[in-house]
Amino acid sequence: MAGMFDYKVPPVGMVRSDSHAAVLTDAERPRQSTSNDRDERTAPGGWTITLLLAGITCCLGSAVPAGFNIGVLNNVDHLIRNFCNDSMRERYDVDISEYNLQLLWSAVVSVFLIGGVTGSFISSWLADRYGRKGALCFGNICGISGAAMFLLVRKLNSIELLLAGRLVVGLSGGFATSIVPMYLTEIAPLRLRGAVGVLCQLGLTGGVFFGQVAGLETVLGTEDAWQYMLGAFVPLCVFALVVTSITLPESPTYLFIMKEQKQRALNELCRIRNMDIMLLQVEIASLQQELESRTISKPLNLKHILKDPSLKLPVFLVCLLQFGQQMSGINVVFYYSNTIFLQAGLGRTGSQYATLGTGVANIAMALVSVPVMSSFNRRGVLLTSTYLCFGCLIALCSSILFINALSSMPIVCTALVLAYVIFYGIGLGPIPYFIGSELFDVGPRPTAMALGSVFNWGGNFLVGMLFPTVESIIGPYTFLIFAGALLSMGQIVRIYLPETRGKNTMDVAASISQGFKSRPHSRTAI
């Protein structure tokens, strides 16, 4: 296999091995591509062993642990509260009040989100300096370090170590949500970009579900085992660290355009596609064209991106979709689901398993969205998902208000919860995570996706902090706030979001380069 790469690039007629622009003869140069020429149906490549391994590794080793740490505390909050209370009494001879215990518990929950915001913010720097692979490995190391802290929490009787562990695994989660979609969409062929982009959401939803299962009393949610439950994800991080560092390829896009290591990039591209270089001429020409279009030789930082008029709209869209995903009401629906299931007569144990059932439905829809992203336009799927979730929230608000008035209302509420989870999982769940990789060229992509991930984690933090207070004041009417947010986001998406499926990122970026004067939807069918 190594012998097939022992050649110089110029005879192929595409690029030279030095850092200067390629010189092509008229006969060698492919004709200038258009959007139609780059349609995904004619793009080379499909699922290969290398691409499949990368998807599995990133999903299981990065996204699943992030989701696991989001959902793992749901069923064991009383156990960890008791530990915190006992630890304060034994170490500091202090009996903390119920109010202060609640504040301490809030810190345990929210420090993970702070870590997620921080990890998202610095992920672009890591991805540009150490490569996509290096950033993924760093995230895995953070996950392993956090799990080790969890395993020592009870032995050392340390609340501080618990908080530090939550912060570190939050960093790992922030890296996962910003780097995994970017890496996978950069190594995937055009026709599979949407399918691999969904893998991050699939891993997150699967991780949340496994975290909830691990917290059951019949599994690890006991007084003697909860510390092992918190670190149960560590084998996945170890597996991912080994596979990523030894086996997975670096992103050819990153190597070719950001590092200008053309020969290495072509070697990695051939390995990922499992094709001879001669069959990848169009894809290489696209990389060369993007390299030549770059106006600066270094990565774009946050200051450059925010000042560039041509990037204002895509940055706004990425941040809006990431923040809007958290403002969609998904966490509120899950919060109310247990109460609704109790009202439906399922009992406490039955309600817990019914809540797990909604998690299964969420995972199932993430799996369904893999072929959906390959077959249907992103914009149409996202709008459909948004408006259907909007309708479910309005109906849920009305149904919960009358849940005790009619005997059939608990069943209606249960059906609406499941419908909402299904509609969310098909579009609002996966698309915001990877859409940034299709709106931006490789230069601003890491910083833009990191900024979007910051808004996602920030929205999660904001909803988590404000929701209990708002819900205590207005009850089910809280659904109307999230319904209004969805309606507003849907209108903006309808006007400004271009269709990205099967399109080169240069073409997509050009269609929205005029800022809010751009009207890409006029040229894109839903």
Over residues 226-257, the pLDDT tens digits come to: 999 999 999 999 999 999 999 999 999 999 88
Mean pLDDT score, 46-61: 93
Q: 432-444, pLDDT tens digit by residue? A: 988 888 888 877 8
pTM, to two decimals: 0.81
Residues 127 and 448: their CA atoms lie apart, in Å, by: 12
45: left (phi over 0), alpha (psi -120 to 50) or beta: left
Q: Report yes or no: 373 and 425 within 8 Å, Cβ to Cβ.
A: no
Percentages helix, strand, coil for the chain, rounded to the nearest 5?
75, 0, 25
Comparison of pLDDT for 367 and 277, the residue scoring more: 367
| Average pLDDT for the chain | 83
Alpha-carbon distance of 350 to 353, in angstroms, equals 5
Name the pLDDT band for 344 (thresholds 50, 70, 90): low
- The rounded distance, in Å, linking the Cα atoms of 524 and 520 is 6
* Residue 475, H or E segment: none
Measure the CA–CA gap between 526 and 513, rounded to whole angstroms. Answer: 20
pLDDT digits (tens, 9 = 90+) for 411-455: 888 888 889 999 998 899 899 988 888 888 877 888 888 899 889
Alpha-helical (H) ranges within 37-158 are 49-58, 64-71, 77-92, 98-129, 131-156
The string of pLDDT tens digits covering residues 317-342 is: 999 999 999 999 887 777 677 677 77
Provide CB contacts within 8 A for 189, sequence distance 6+. Answer: 43, 44, 45, 46, 273, 283
Q: Is the pLDDT of residue 4 over 50?
A: no
Spatial neighbors of 113 by CB under 8 A, at least 6 apart, are: 170, 457, 460, 461, 464
Give the mean model confidence (pLDDT) for residues 356-370: 85
Q: What is the pLDDT of residue 219?
A: 86
- Euclidean distance between the first and final Cα of the chain, in Å? 44
Give the three-class secondary structure for 48: coil
For residue 294, name the pLDDT band (cuts at 50, 70, 90): low
Q: pLDDT confidence of 394, banded at 50, 70, 90?
A: very high
Q: What percent of the chain has pLDDT over 70?
A: 87
Residue 62's contacts (CB-CB under 8 Å, 6 or more residues apart) are 136, 139, 140, 143, 172, 175, 176, 179, 180, 203, 240
CA 4 to chain CA centroid, nearest Å: 36
Does the pLDDT value for residue 387 go beyond 60? Answer: yes
Residue whose pair of structure tokens reads 């507003």 in the numeric block: 488
- Predicted pLDDT at 252: 92
Look at the block and give the residue holding tokens 């991080």. 237
Range in 7-16, 72-81, 86-95, 166-175 with the lowest mean pLDDT: 7-16
Phi-psi bin for 411: left (phi > 0), alpha (psi -120 to 50), beta? alpha
Amino acid found at 304: H
Query: pLDDT at position 526, please?
Result: 40
| pLDDT (0 to 100) of residue 436 | 86
Q: How far apart are CA 400 and CA 412, in angstroms?
A: 9
pLDDT category, 296, cuts 50, 70, 90? very low
Query: What was the pLDDT predicted at 297?
Result: 42
Model confidence at 25: pLDDT above 70? no
Q: CA-to-CA distance for 350 and 274, rounded, in angstroms?
A: 49
pLDDT of residue 356: 80
Closest CA to 282 of 459, 74, 9, 43: 43
Question: What pLDDT score was predicted for residue 393?
Answer: 93
Of the two residues 410 and 20, the one the predictor is more confident about is 410
Tens of pLDDT, residues 144-198: 999 999 999 999 999 999 999 999 999 999 999 999 999 999 999 888 888 888 8
Q: Which two tokens stand for residue 67?
A: 């989701």
Query: Is the separation of the CB atoms in 184 and 58 below 8 Å?
Result: yes
Poorest-pLDDT segment among 52-61, 162-171, 397-406 = 397-406
Q: Which amino acid is at 404?
A: N
CA distance 56 to 79: 33
Conformational region of residue 347, where left means phi above 0, alpha means psi within -120 to 50, and beta covers everything else? left
Predicted local distance difference test score (pLDDT) of residue 24: 38
Residue 62 burial (CB count, 10 A): 32
Instruction: Provide the pLDDT confidence category of residue 285 given band limits of 50, 70 and 90.
Output: confident
Of 208, 66, 220, the closest CA to residue 143 belongs to: 66
Given a contact cutoff of 8 angstroms between Cβ atoms, the answer to whether 142 and 175 are in contact is yes
**C-beta separation of 339 from 478 below 8 A:** no
pLDDT score recorded for residue 300: 61
Is it the case that residue 23 has pLDDT exceeding 50? no
269, 284 Cβ separation under 8 angstroms: yes
Over pLDDT 90: what percentage of the chain? 35
Can you tell me the mean pLDDT for 55-64? 95
Say what the pLDDT of residue 324 is.
93
Predicted confidence at residue 438, as pLDDT, reads 86
